Structure 1
Amino acid sequence: MKLRLLSLILVCNLIFSGESVAQRFLMDLVDTTNQMGKGMLSIYERYNRVRISGYIQPQFQLITKEGAETYGGGNFSPMSNNRFMLRRGRLRVDYAHLNERSEPTSYFVFQFDGTERGVAIRDFWGRFYENKYKMFALTTGMFARPFGYEVNLSSANRETPERGRMSQILMRTERDIGAMLTVSSRKDHGLFTVLKLDLGVFNGQGMSGPMDYDSHKDVIGRLSLKPTKIQSFNGATFSAAVSGYWGGITSQSAVLNKTRQQSGEYYMVRDSSANNFRKVAPRNYAGADAQFSIPNRKGETEFRAEYIRGRQTATFASSETPGVYPVTNGVKDPLYIRNFDGAYFYFLQNLGSEEHQIVMKYDWYDANTSVSGRQVSSANGFSKADLRYDTVGMGYVYIPNSSLKFTFYYDFVRNESSSITGFEQDVADDIFTCRVQYNF
């Protein structure tokens, strides 16, 4: 009974303490060189090293056509162009173990997502620190892939309702199962006080499938410059990173499809060589991102940019990384290899107060850079998975207090005109989102 009472008091204190516990990035941890890390340590010490946090995101959406396909929270039902939904409902528990010198030795996190569609695991990982050099840490379990900026920006803190189309296609569900070494100094001097290196090995398909379907593992790395103040530029803050993804899918068929040029025209060419069986079809990406924030008298102006290109292996109908190996009528489907590129550009501006913010975003994702426009045709072996999409988003965010956020956002989505049936011109799929976020 006493234990239950203490637990109840602990939870109530956490909820009503006024501390902002939402994490900006999915893999923010105990890093005593930054303000968040110091704040987290004080919370752990005050509340027996346990932290409970969470948020819910009820929202209303309106799309321009009934039954439209969208990356703005999932496709609509065939006879619906508007909906109420619970986009996310997260509950997260963190536990940190500190030694007698109040240094972090291990860290454990689990997080669940509950909506009207069911309950799923989002994070389930642990990390341990070495404290001799205060530089190395190892994370194992299910956690966010260390690639790019937008993928790792928490949905609780992201200014747009969803990550961009490219992020969702390449890094579906953002998380994967694996192990990651982090090099980041927790001292106040040395090269890695301003730099951070994450290098991990993962299954590859992420949480979109129930298990790893081949023995091939993907290696992901990110070298980043931590946010650095530029005093000569009005105290502006600059950060940047480069990311790499070296992975693939082991072909379980003797057929691979690639885009090739023949007689001056591009085709999706079928390669039925027996050597293709068990051959690793590539998932190789390279990315770079930068963020520049200028403080105003109240609030700030921020610019973000991120560019990614590479080779993606998927299926005929989609360029998404498959969660399970594709099968039709018991026969393993052939894989499709495409060259792609894409980018994100953000402009964020507070309106005379930290409570009010306007958001502007432009992104593109070209699933097959070898072909464009009318060249994308069924006769040449292509599908809607080879189309380019450009999206312009505009929104307004109102944050009356640390536990409440309102978002009003409109996405103008444009696919290129092609020779694919149903995509001869732009498809009606612009979407408006009105969201309320409650967090503790």
Structure 2
Amino acid sequence: MKKASIIAFVAGLGLLSVFSLQAASDDDKATNKSQYLKVSGYVQMQYQVADTAGIASVAGGNFAARVDNRFAIRRGRLKLAYTQDLTAAVLQVDMTEKGLALKDAYISLTDPWLRVASFTGGVFDRPFGYEISYSSGKRETPERSRLYQTLFPGERDLGVRLSVKGQNESNLEGLRMDLGLINGNGINVETDRYKDVVTRLSLSRQAFNGAMDWGLGVSGYLGGPAHTNSLAYTMQERDGIPVFVSETVEVGSRATRRYVGVDAQLAFKWKPGRSQLRFEWLEGQQPGLANSSSSLTGLAGGPLYIRPFSGFYLYYIQQVLNTPLQFVWRWDVYDPNSAVGGNAIGRSVSSGAKTGQADVGYATLGWGLNYQLTDRVKLMAYYDWVTNETTASLPQASTLTDLSKDRQDNLFTLRMQYAF
């Protein structure tokens, strides 16, 4: 009996040691996993005041009828990034009073030989231009330009991307090429058999021992949605007036969506503080609807209207006397239909369809202040002065749709951000 007890005791110790070793191993695995996992995010709470109740706005969405001021959680981002030596997986969601939305979900693989090429698949920023990939948590203005919000709603798309960059400490350092193959309708379910190609070639360098940073980029986009109607409309002149003229197309064939863009950035440090200049210009051809020039995120609900467009933005950002205070100024111009302007918008002839509100251009002059209260808390006050193209040729159903004069749709934004 005593011998059996000793054997049982020894066996128990052995079993306990096995469990202890297993627990230690599990703890080590958990510790090893946690060192690869990074959790980050930010919350933006804001208050806005508009000139007029019920205005249409690209600064956080349209105002509800009879509403001229509002509180909102503009962004509530939570990002999980699991990164190892040559692989990474990223998930990011946005949580606001409007609901839960997916922002990023992708896997990235880096080549093990030179470590200069990477392959990414999933939902990610479209590799076009500079403003798309510039984080909303870092951006000095409340929103991206009207130009980018119209052409690339939501910024992201679903597909694959190949990225190649120059090796560090080589003549190609700072050079980067991105090439993407995407659905073309954002992060929504694919609605046609076509894929879009998007690319950017960029170069960024430092000068004067790091006192100056500069960058240049060129971008291209080629794709387009499927025609769901046997008619499509393109811009032509009839009796000296630019109008939409219909043409017959095959249902299911592709409408061409084509963009080209150039961008430049310059930042330098001097006695007043850090100064930054950013510029980007785009032009191309945009398939839209009769009442909207925005890129489609699903099947077209009617004939497609093909518009030539152009636009640009210019930023000037100045740190104030090397303090946490920053002044920002932006000029943002978007012309959704560069083939028509002024009182010609809305004019019609017997052999063509007239243009409308979707063909009206906008110029927005914005300025404001940012204050970095702590390393995690940033305060922002910003004013958007929005000017629209005017025409006397469109009906004036209400003050909100009257385009015979500039609409009263300016907007003031007060924001507080916490990043973690």
Query: Is TM more than 0.5 here?
Result: yes
The residue number in structure 2 matching 1:22 is none
Q: Within 5 Å, which residues of 2 pair with 1:26-65?
A: 48-65=35-52
Shift of residue 263, structure 1, vs aligned partner: 2.7
2:156 paired with 1:175: yes
2:340 paired with 1:371: yes
Shift of residue 383, structure 1, vs aligned partner: 1.2
Distance change in 2, residues 1:6/1:118 (3 Å): farther
Distance change in 2, residues 1:284/1:79 (3 Å): same
Identity value in percent: 35
Q: Distance in 2 between matches of 1:56 and 1:138?
A: 30
Shift of residue 363, structure 1, vs aligned partner: 1.0
8 Å Cα contact 1:134/1:185 also seen in 2: no
8 Å Cα contact 1:409/1:434 also seen in 2: yes
8 Å Cα contact 2:225/2:296 also seen in 1: no
Shift of residue 148, structure 1, vs aligned partner: 0.7
Residues 118-170 of structure 1: CA deviation (Å, up to 9, x unaligned): 00110000100012122111000000000011111110000000001110010
Shift of residue 278, structure 1, vs aligned partner: 2.3
2:406 paired with 1:426: yes
Q: Distance in 2 between matches of 1:222 and 1:186?
A: 18
Shift of residue 378, structure 1, vs aligned partner: 5.4
Note the residue ranges of structure 2 that are not aligned, 5 or more in a row: 1-22, 396-401
2:74 paired with 1:87: yes
Shift of residue 51, structure 1, vs aligned partner: 0.4
The residue number in structure 2 matching 1:319 is 293
2:245 paired with 1:264: no
Shift of residue 187, structure 1, vs aligned partner: 3.7
The residue number in structure 2 matching 1:250 is 226
Q: 2:280 aligns with which of 296, 302, 306?
A: 306
User: Which amino acid is 2:224 matched to?
Assistant: G
Shift of residue 46, structure 1, vs aligned partner: 10
User: Which amino acid is 2:218 matched to?
Assistant: V
8 Å Cα contact 2:241/2:347 also seen in 1: no
Q: 1:203 aligns with which of 171, 179, 183?
A: 183
- Count of residue pairs brought into register by the alignment: 385
Shift of residue 110, structure 1, vs aligned partner: 0.2
Where 2:138 maps in the other structure, the secondary structure is coil
The residue number in structure 1 matching 2:139 is 158
Q: Distance in 1 between matches of 2:167 and 2:367?
A: 38
User: Which amino acid is 1:283 matched to?
Assistant: R
User: Which amino acid is 2:80 matched to?
Assistant: V
Residues 268-309 of structure 1: CA deviation (Å, up to 9, x unaligned): 1121x2x43222111100000000111124730111110000
Shift of residue 252, structure 1, vs aligned partner: 1.7
The residue number in structure 1 matching 2:89 is 108
User: Which amino acid is 1:68 matched to?
Assistant: I
2:416 paired with 1:436: yes
Q: Distance in 1 between matches of 2:250 and 2:313?
A: 35
Where 1:249 maps in the other structure, the secondary structure is coil
Q: Between 257-266 and 406-415, report the one with greater CA deviation.
A: 257-266
Q: 2:387 aligns with which of 394, 411, 414?
A: 414
The residue number in structure 2 matching 1:239 is 215
User: Which amino acid is 1:409 matched to?
Assistant: Y
2:327 paired with 1:355: no
Where 2:147 maps in the other structure, the secondary structure is helix
8 Å Cα contact 1:222/1:242 also seen in 2: yes
Q: Distance in 1 between matches of 2:415 and 2:291?
A: 31
Q: Between 56-65 and 178-187, report the one with greater CA deviation.
A: 178-187
Q: Distance in 2 between matches of 1:95 and 1:343?
A: 36
The residue number in structure 1 matching 2:370 is 397
User: Which amino acid is 2:359 matched to?
Assistant: D
Q: Distance in 1 between matches of 2:185 and 2:340?
A: 27
Q: Distance in 1 between matches of 2:258 and 2:330?
A: 26
Residues 60-95 of structure 1: CA deviation (Å, up to 9, x unaligned): 000001000000100001010000000000000001
Residues 313-371 of structure 1: CA deviation (Å, up to 9, x unaligned): 010100001212133xxxxx101100000000000000012411000000100000000
Where 1:270 maps in the other structure, the secondary structure is strand
Distance change in 2, residues 1:378/1:265 (3 Å): closer
Where 1:94 maps in the other structure, the secondary structure is strand
Shift of residue 400, structure 1, vs aligned partner: 1.7
Where 2:255 maps in the other structure, the secondary structure is strand
Q: 1:230 aligns with which of 207, 216, 232?
A: 207
The residue number in structure 1 matching 2:268 is 294
Note the residue ranges of structure 1 that are not aligned, 5 or more in a row: 11-44, 99-104, 328-332
8 Å Cα contact 1:134/1:187 also seen in 2: no
Q: Distance in 1 between matches of 2:133 and 2:297?
A: 20
Distance change in 2, residues 1:412/1:361 (3 Å): same
Q: Distance in 2 between matches of 1:150 and 1:354?
A: 25
Q: Distance in 1 between matches of 2:347 and 2:232?
A: 17
8 Å Cα contact 2:199/2:220 also seen in 1: yes
User: Which amino acid is 1:388 matched to?
Assistant: G
8 Å Cα contact 1:67/1:75 also seen in 2: yes
Q: Distance in 1 between matches of 2:252 and 2:245?
A: 19
Q: Which structure has the bigger radius of gyration?
A: 2
The residue number in structure 2 matching 1:339 is 308
Q: Distance in 2 between matches of 1:242 and 1:338?
A: 22
2:139 paired with 1:139: no
CA RMSD of aligned residues (A): 2.0
Q: Distance in 2 between matches of 1:348 and 1:412?
A: 18
User: Which amino acid is 1:247 matched to?
Assistant: G
